[in-house]
Amino acid sequence: MKRASLFVTALVFVNAVAHAATGDYHLAKKLPIEGAATYYDYVFLDAPSRRLYVTFGGDAVVFDPDSGALLAKLTGHKKVHGVALAAGRLFVTDGELNVVGAYDARTGKPIGDIKAGENPDAIIFDPASKQVYAFNNHGGTATVIDPQTLKVAATIDIGGKLEFARADGKGTIWVNAEDRSELIRLDSRKRTVTARWKLAPCEEPTGLAFDEKHRRLFVGCNNSLMAVVDADSGKVITTAPIGPGVDATAFDPATGDIFNSCGGGDGSLVIVHQDGPDRYSVAQTIATTRRAKTLAVDPRTHRVFVTAGTFTPPPAATPENPKPRGAMVPGSFGVLVFERGAAK
């Protein structure tokens, strides 16, 4: 009986260690952001420079991701969405002014604006072409910018309501078309669309992450599913259940964890673990807040940063506004920081 008890205890300990290796994230702290704005969108981490950028209203707020210290605030725009870094410059999309703003990444000094399409949203730097790609959410186009000259190099007609995009650094870019439930592949050097893939059973894709080693794309979809897609063939390999209203999806290759920030319902961070290139399981679901939005993962510390505020209950639906939203409580916005291991 004593030996059996020891065996059970050891088995429980082994299982606990195995689970800790793939999950057990907890809320460590919140980085508050002051201001009267009620709109917020992307959070972008530049790991080498140890800078965390958060878009809030017309600003890009800069934090030290290690200490949590507020370092700077880049101002001068109306409705900032995405952030990208290239050639020592920071590029932000302004969906209201329909421009991409450029700043000196070291000093934060504004350099100038580049005209984009209608409602530029996601923005990335493509290492293969050495160009910045801004994806125009309402216009269905991509504005290609030379980060050295700040000139528009090309405008690519893609089609659809464009959301998150990823690049493999070898000349391929993928972008989600939310209203068409499509994942679209681009040749970044030729600046052409090379494939359009339907994502059924996934619908309304937003979040997008890339596993370079296994050539897998992780697509967060608004019907509470995350699709795993072969990055070369476009085949949907499998799906995993996540929360409603996903906005962002990110992958940590060191841990094999895929993070989905789901702002529907009361809000959740759903962590899906990669058990193998074609096998996935939900490792953990953590409560966040209603409309918790985008996220970033630090590959060095494995911290997860999620933008979130506190909202009042939505008013009753009307024919004019069938999906009303509550108001954000003043002073409630900030970045939720999740860490691995037991809470201290």
pLDDT band at 326; cut points 50, 70, 90: confident
CATH number of the domain residue 255 falls in: 2.130.10.10
Residue 294 pLDDT: 95
Beta-strand runs (E) in 109-204: 110-115, 120-126, 131-136, 141-146, 151-157, 162-167, 172-177, 182-187, 192-198
Statement to judge: residues 234 and 175 lie in one domain: no
Asked whether the predicted pLDDT for residue 61 surpasses 70, the reply is yes
247 lies in some domain: yes
Statement to judge: residues 184 and 229 lie in one domain: no
pLDDT for 113-125, tens place per residue?
999 999 999 999 9
Asked whether the predicted pLDDT for residue 16 surpasses 50, the reply is no
pLDDT band at 247; cut points 50, 70, 90: very high
Higher pLDDT, 16 or 312: 312
103 lies in some domain: yes
17 lies in some domain: no
Residue 320 pLDDT: 86
Q: Which domain holds residue 81?
A: 76-198
Measured between its terminal Cα atoms, the distance across the chain in Å is 35
Residue 248 pLDDT: 97
pLDDT for 132-190, tens place per residue?
999 999 989 999 999 999 999 999 999 999 999 999 999 999 999 999 999 999 999 99
Residue 329 pLDDT: 85
Statement to judge: residues 192 and 218 lie in one domain: no
Tell me the C-alpha to C-alpha distance, in Å, between residue 338 and each of 24, 25, 180, 307: 10, 6, 33, 11
User: Please, which residues have CB within 8 angstroms of residue 239's CB and are 6 or more apart in sequence?
Assistant: 201, 202, 225, 226, 227, 228
Higher pLDDT, 22 or 53: 53
Statement to judge: residues 182 and 121 lie in one domain: yes
**What is the arithmetic mean of pLDDT over 261-284?**
96
Long-range pairs of 234-237 with CB within 8 A, sequence gap ≥ 24: 234/183, 234/185, 234/195, 234/197, 236/199, 236/200, 236/201, 236/202, 237/278
Q: How does the average pLDDT of the chain come out, rounded?
A: 91
Asked whether the predicted pLDDT for residue 3 surpasses 60, the reply is no
pLDDT for 19-39, tens place per residue?
334 559 999 999 999 987 778
**What is the arithmetic mean of pLDDT over 98-114?**
96
Higher pLDDT, 93 or 13: 93
Residue 23 pLDDT: 58
- C-alpha–C-alpha distance, residues 235 and 149, integer Å: 38
Statement to judge: residues 126 and 152 lie in one domain: yes
pLDDT band at 344; cut points 50, 70, 90: low
Statement to judge: residues 302 and 181 lie in one domain: no
Residue 306 pLDDT: 98
Residue ending a domain, choose from 137, 170, 198: 198
Residue 21 pLDDT: 42
The token duo for 158 is 């893609």
pLDDT band at 300; cut points 50, 70, 90: very high
Overall domain count for the chain? 2
**What is the arithmetic mean of pLDDT over 272-297?**
96
